[in-house]
Structure 1
């Protein structure tokens, strides 16, 4: 890192600290009414916490850069013993066909000795159909009745029957890639060797977390027509922040697609059952026991994320309450077993869930002044510009400069605003010890009802009040009045834009596709002219695929392939062919060639298993891993306005015909 950058980063923090000191000492309305004073204190407290989380993130990024901490995954060391691995797939009441995809993928995981990989289904519902599925794939099955400890109790029950030195955890919907063990086991083998050579200076490895990756567009990507523009909202934590945590040997366990050292899980008493987020708590207990944890950046599994508003809010509420519970159980502020880096990471995680309450406070503060002349910050405009503006804009520049290409701060504010109305109350209640009723597993199937439309009300109410505040505050102002009020107007406009995005997200978008489409380029064959000819797939889904002819085969296409025609295809997979049949539903141009879309007859048996593996083995490249920096949130806002206006115009046009 250059000297200029270091100076810039330090200056941003120093200026921000100076501003915060000024805010506390000179701007709080101590003589105001009690309610106004309380809100003013909440506002300055929110600013302090926001800056603190920014400082922590900058510090860890600078530390990682200084120490050149970059996790390198070694190859298998064939001079060392190869450990047995249990692949535990945890299921509650999920659809069996969804579970099939994960179990099937587990049978294709690469390992130097396949006999040392043991697939296990852990079923807390003791369902006969799940037991039958386990038998079909030659997997071990452990079911249980009357489980009162949710996912943690289910896993603990299964672990008592297993004895491999390593075990992996996968949720029902989290489909592993074939390279999962190659990205995780060698790290343990290397650690075993290092411990044997120098156990005094080497810490044992407790677990390796691979990213939470998803093969469908999340609610932000899908509802904002941004599937090609921004990555999944969870990528920022999984592929950036948690990798940064891992560079300090304290990656957080995120519930699935992680590989564990069995001995340390036994040592800490198994998966904790006193919290909704047993993953977060277990990972920290492992660190407290003296074991390190690492996080990789390359996805090695892929799951399905809910895109209905109710499902997403329900999921995040469970996470929020669970983390608050776990932080209380772990005593993160005073626990002497926590190292200072680990403590900072946990505090930052804890404060993240309070960011939604802070966001509500930030939204309300300028509205109070614009509509009711309630002043919660006592400051002269010019002094504010001198003390606040330099630190604010420099800090935001540093945050942008130190972050990677997954998500910028603007999108972070939009996502924070989206969750704020529904998460700030559960966080406060959980902190006060008011627990919610028992949570159920989040449904991954998209379900919409008339009640879902009501979820838009908090966003619309805040959006409307903010719009009124902008108009009322600026109406009739001229010259210096506009300048003096520009700070209030600035914040009102920022919140108005964020809330506009939230409205579009809450409005939803029709879901027409039954199964997700994956970008898959596979060289295969098609039966033409009484012989197999060359073809190459463009994309594939469970219900169909598209392909184009290749090589000399293109000379035959016009006379052989027509819409509505039934075709036979075969695709190579693990030393054999997957045999498929289907009907051509559409013929279109693909670059200079013709592309054919085929609706497949769902194969059975071995062909089905291999075809599922061809689809789900690897990240879905139709979705981005990085943000398109050429398209700003304002471009996205314009796109959403135009698309929805066009839809409204079409509806009106249809109504006026009759």
Structure 2
């Protein structure tokens, strides 16, 4: 009992934090900046308290030894993650919502002088079943001066014919220079020569469907003549691969929800909201002033935000679900997409807008670039290091830290619990440790490679477009992705079994303090993460793509009779609804959905 008392005392800080989470935080309003700043400030203080303790009391003496290199290397990586999270905490301390502003300034133009809006649907290799859904819902939009164009970088005759059939514009170019940005620039130049040239352009990827009020709501924010771009969140019909493969889509949101629901509103409050490509609307005059969309990065959207800011234009964020699209359906496509985002950001920081360079970006936009670089450089290498470093302890006897279990409980546990509590409170429960770690681990190595490529080489760099569509009706085991996790799982499990029972292994009672107990807990956690990562590499079938995750009210009208019900899922083969009864086989009618009307 006497031995447990110091440990129980050390747990007091974490217990207080958990108690506050259960009793006090539910009573506070997360939209109030002072509560956000207080909570995130405490998380930052405990984070840096932990870092100071790590460097002053836990490291192996600095020397050219394996122990010193590993010990100092891991502590340095931890410090990078704390620095990254501290900047993120500062940004998250404020939030801005523009719904009331959009309400107030709806129809800000003079009667009969509505601005002209073009919708550009960008496509490269998507099939008709995906494109046609987008085209149909774009045609259902109602705005006084609205034209829709399909920008086909695949130069497909069948798509030209489909556009003629649906009476929408079709624009094609002779090459694919600068990919999506080049495709949009070509269409902008072409439309600028037409008599009905637009004042604004809305960008939709081929798989994104607009809600009926997408244009009305976004154009309302252009009442401010300094606004060059309005970004809206990206919501998805279907679960992302990790949600789907683990069978958690009903209880766990897609990986991008934290960014669109929490990070972008916070960035908007600081004036550093970023363009995310699709689901955005741009002022043509602003784009023409900066020389069209920049093409120096494979993530032209973030670069566009910085270019606009440098020339005095704002990017603002309207946090309303105004479009829905198709998340990457396969694990490889999911990883490719994130690798491209990382590569593009590194290109921006290296070649275009070095945050410490001599350009005209303001302080907050420079901090924005630093925040993004640190995110990619720390968030994804860290889970790899967390898997590998315990193996060095088990198999080679390399000491990672000299610390007692009591001190770990006193310094690390409150820091970890406070960060988790703060982020879960702000995001309404989006952070689940093992699932978050799994999503980072699965993409970790490709992202580390992309980060190194983007930072260390000037380019140009090749990239792959995220594939959509294809046969998803079979179980597919992604062996190439799973194999490293299987190897690490075997080594980690062996680390628990072999070293503690072998004569050749180091003396575990030596210089590592309570090292065995600490690394034992760490190792067990790693085994859980690896098991989940292995399970995520088994791609489950997807039927009637895309599957809707949220039921929506519908009205089915047949022969004058109106039947109310719910939309269960919606795909290219048709819709599945629940509720209406007494219908005859072969009866025809109208199915009305809140988002748009389909016949």
**What TM-score do the two structures reach when normalised by structure 2?**
0.82
Aligned equivalent of 2:362, options 320, 336, 339? 339
Pair 1:423 & 2:447 matched = yes
Q: Which structure's relative contact order is higher, taking Cα pairs within 8 Å and 6+ residues apart?
A: 2
Pair 1:171 & 2:171 matched = no
- Quickly say closer, same or farther: Cα 1:70–1:24, change in 2 above 3 A: farther
Deviation of the 1:414 alpha carbon? 2.4
Give the Cα separation in 2 of the matches to 1:5 and 1:148.
Answer: 45
Give the Cα separation in 1 of the matches to 2:384 and 2:254.
Answer: 24
**Which range is displaced more, 469-478 or 251-260?**
469-478
Deviation of the 1:69 alpha carbon? 6.0
Pair 1:442 & 2:466 matched = yes
Pair 1:181 & 2:231 matched = no
**Which range is displaced more, 96-105 or 277-286?**
96-105
Deviation of the 1:534 alpha carbon? 4.7
Give the Cα separation in 2 of the matches to 1:5 and 1:526.
Answer: 51
Deviation of the 1:361 alpha carbon? 1.2
Pair 1:461 & 2:487 matched = yes
Pair 1:352 & 2:352 matched = no
Give the Cα separation in 2 of the matches to 1:429 and 1:525.
Answer: 56
Pair 1:102 & 2:134 matched = yes
Deviation of the 1:436 alpha carbon? 8.0
Give the Cα separation in 2 of the matches to 1:5 and 1:58.
Answer: 9
**Which range is displaced more, 217-226 or 38-47?**
38-47
Give the Cα separation in 1 of the matches to 2:148 and 2:63.
Answer: 65
- RMSD of aligned Cα (Å): 3.2
Alignment of 1:50-89 (within 5 A): 50-64=81-95, 72=100, 73-74=102-103, 75-78=105-108, 80=110, 81-89=113-121
Give the Cα separation in 1 of the matches to 2:49 and 2:106.
Answer: 52
Deviation of the 1:296 alpha carbon? 2.1
- Quickly say closer, same or farther: Cα 1:402–1:143, change in 2 above 3 A: same
Deviation of the 1:369 alpha carbon? 1.3
Listed one character per residue, the Cα deviations across residues 472-521 of structure 1 (whole Å, up to 9, x for unaligned) are 5677999xx99663321222222222221111110221334355357343
- Quickly say closer, same or farther: Cα 1:299–1:474, change in 2 above 3 A: farther
Give the Cα separation in 2 of the matches to 1:510 and 1:403.
Answer: 30
Listed one character per residue, the Cα deviations across residues 321-359 of structure 1 (whole Å, up to 9, x for unaligned) are 111112222112335522222222222211221221122
Aligned equivalent of 1:516, options 547, 554, 562? 547
Give the length in aligned residue pairs.
Answer: 545
- Quickly say closer, same or farther: Cα 1:93–1:25, change in 2 above 3 A: same
Give the Cα separation in 1 of the matches to 2:302 and 2:159.
Answer: 28
Show structure 2 runs of 5+ residues with no match: 1-31, 192-196, 503-507
Deviation of the 1:143 alpha carbon? 0.9
CA contact (8 A) 1:538 1:545 kept: no
Pair 1:147 & 2:176 matched = yes
**Which range is displaced more, 7-16 or 206-215?**
7-16
Deviation of the 1:457 alpha carbon? 0.5
Deviation of the 1:132 alpha carbon? 2.2
Pair 1:119 & 2:154 matched = no
Give the Cα separation in 2 of the matches to 1:405 and 1:615.
Answer: 35
Q: Which residue of 2 aligns with 1:289?
A: 311
Give the Cα separation in 1 of the matches to 2:252 and 2:278.
Answer: 23
Give the Cα separation in 2 of the matches to 1:181 and 1:468.
Answer: 58
- Quickly say closer, same or farther: Cα 1:69–1:181, change in 2 above 3 A: closer
Listed one character per residue, the Cα deviations across residues 8-50 of structure 1 (whole Å, up to 9, x for unaligned) are 6444323322332332344443455455544433312221121
Listed one character per residue, the Cα deviations across residues 436-457 of structure 1 (whole Å, up to 9, x for unaligned) are 8622322112457978322210
**Which range is displaced more, 404-413 or 211-220?**
404-413
Give the Cα separation in 1 of the matches to 2:421 and 2:341.
Answer: 30
Deviation of the 1:87 alpha carbon? 0.9
CA contact (8 A) 1:231 1:406 kept: yes
Q: Which residue of 2 aligns with 1:413?
A: 437
- Quickly say closer, same or farther: Cα 1:545–1:367, change in 2 above 3 A: same
- Quickly say closer, same or farther: Cα 1:3–1:225, change in 2 above 3 A: closer
Aligned equivalent of 2:516, options 482, 485, 493? 485
SS at structure 2 position matched to 1:569: coil
Pair 1:247 & 2:269 matched = yes
Q: Which residue of 1 aligns with 2:15?
A: none
Alignment of 1:390-405 (within 5 A): 390-405=414-429
Show structure 1 runs of 5+ residues with no match: 193-203, 574-609, 617-658
CA contact (8 A) 1:321 1:427 kept: yes
- Quickly say closer, same or farther: Cα 1:433–1:357, change in 2 above 3 A: same
Pair 1:371 & 2:395 matched = yes
Aligned equivalent of 1:29, options 45, 57, 60? 60
